[in-house]
Structure 1
């Protein structure tokens, strides 16, 4: 591949994504707040830089995969951010889960510099990222989308285009994360009901996952919840709290009541307050056990 790409954010998702780009022949400049996270990439030929702005090639492509809106704005707009250096004809492929409002703000600021902001949040856990099997939601300027297709095809097994509104893909991502969290809460309640009636949790989810609920969310998260296996985390519970907060923020701006989202927000908040923020977000199920008087 002839194009050099900047990549910011080498956590549980970003690191395997960046490794796949290297394996596909892309040249990478990488940055992470914790420099040690870049070591596996440097070993495969990536160039490590010490500031976010240094990943950008003028007119090039920069991918960001960071934890939240604040982290994203910092690497783009901060004192050492990359926005000005990216410049005319550059593309920022933002693959983080952030608010639609932040996407709109950044898209406007990129446009003033002559560059393009594309939202491309993903569905899939770290193992899917490593396998290049992510599902990618995409929105933003059409001209930018055409240029990043070779990159996205390395990272994902499917790309879903939601138009030119830069915030649209993030709305879709938030709706999906809301549905996943709702399913986990429902599974936790159902399996706790079974357990308190003397029925094996794993047998219940095994049957349901093979019949009426034969889909990855129920099969994978259901198995983890049934087995009460919440470490190591694929997605931190603290980030689940952040995402449900974004759901409620987006719903508020659109005047959409979401009582389930409010319940989930309280569940995640209580879990973080109990010191579970660094567990997998499916550990919200422990809160259901707590409420039912089961010591875990």
Structure 2
């Protein structure tokens, strides 16, 4: 299949590489060139601008946020130049409001939008083991299912409205960030009474909280491992903001998310925005006066 791929960050480059290994024709574009050059060495073709990437059967975008996606896809004129029949897999975490706007814009140019946010860190992206939620036209999803199968271990259908997949991603990211904050606070409490961090993590990840969120971030918090970010505090702040914004139209109160936003905002203001999300839990320990 002829694919355009825009956004080769820590997640996108692994996803694009898997498509190449599966034998697809992939034309890539990224704001920084090193990632493009790396994929070209693996067999991809470089697009000179975003519009060239849209010259495809399927366009995949994996961009950081609403603002970057708007600049690259809309303001550049790339989406407006797309040919009727194009299927766009938007695989990043974007706001409900922006997904709704994108759906209208795609319809106006004869393209089909599928919101397909991914669940997993960059190691799972490289291994093709992501979970992928999809919302969009059933016929379009069926057409791109072979690509989803290459990039992920399971596809989770959320109906024909792209918003459904978008809000699922926003809500679960909010839950993940809540779990990290709670783990850090619980570790601060148990540590203050002499329980070792590793003992705490071993217990919770084999009993009450034997789930990937705790198994990944519990050891990182215990080891105070905040570098080599796969998911940064800056992105966490963005995602919690998306949840709060999404709750407003339907009058959904999210008080925990409000606390998370303040804690993340404080961390970013102090220059920790590019630290791994585990730093949120580490900060909870240090707030208690412990190291």
Deviation at 1:261, TM superposition (A): 0.5
2:89 is paired with a residue whose SS is: strand
Q: CA deviation at 1:287?
A: 2.4
- 2:6 alignment counterpart: 8
Equivalent residue, structure 2, for 1:157: 153
Residues in 1 aligned to 2:47 and 2:243: alpha-carbon distance in whole angstroms: 34
In structure 1, the residue matched to 2:44 is 46
Which structure is higher in RCO with an 8 Å CA cutoff and minimum separation 6?
Answer: 2
CA distance in 2, matches of 1:50, 1:228: 42
- Cα contact 2:18–2:126 (8 A) shared by 1: yes
Match of 1:65 in 2: 62
The alignment partner of 2:88 has SS state of strand
Q: How many correspondences in the alignment?
A: 291
2:252 matched to which residue of 1?
A: 256
Q: Does 1:282 align with 2:278?
A: yes
Alpha-carbon contact 1:53-1:75 (below 8 Å) kept:
no
Deviates more, 1:157-166 or 1:193-202: 193-202
- Of the three residues 179, 195, 199, the one matched with 2:195 is 199
> What are structure 2's unaligned runs of at least 5 residues?
none
1:202-224: CA deviation from partner (whole Å, max 9, x where unpaired): 11111111112111111111111
CA shift at 1:67, angstroms?
0.3
* 1:5-32 residue CA offsets vs partner (Å, 9 max, x unmatched): 0000000000000000000001111000
Residue ranges of structure 1 left out of the alignment (5+ in a row): none
In structure 2, distance between residues paired with 1:140 and 1:92: 10
Task: Tell whether the 8 Å contact from 2:22 to 2:150 is kept in structure 1 after alignment.
Answer: yes
What displacement does 1:86 show? 1.9
1:75 is matched with which residue?
72
Q: 5 Å matches for 1:128-277?
A: 128-277=124-273
Q: Distance in 1 between matches of 2:65 and 2:139?
A: 26
CA shift at 1:37, angstroms? 1.2
How far apart in 2 are the matches of 1:83 and 1:208?
47
Query: TM-score, length-normalised on structure 2?
Result: 0.97
Checking the alignment, whether the CA contact within 8 Å between 2:187 and 2:285 is kept in structure 1 is no
Map residues 285-296 of structure 1 onto 2, 5 A cutoff.
285-294=281-290, 296=291
Q: For 1:254 and 1:154, how far apart are their aligned partners in 2?
A: 36
Indicate the residue corresponding to 1:89 in structure 2.
Answer: 85
Aligned counterpart in structure 2 of residue 104 of structure 1, from 100, 109, 115 = 100
Measure how far apart 1:50 and its partner are. 2.5
TM-superposed deviation, 1:84: 2.3
CA distance in 2, matches of 1:155, 1:286: 32
TM-score (norm 1): 0.96
Q: Distance in 2 between matches of 1:101 and 1:82?
A: 20
- C-alpha separation in 1, matches of 2:250 and 2:94: 16
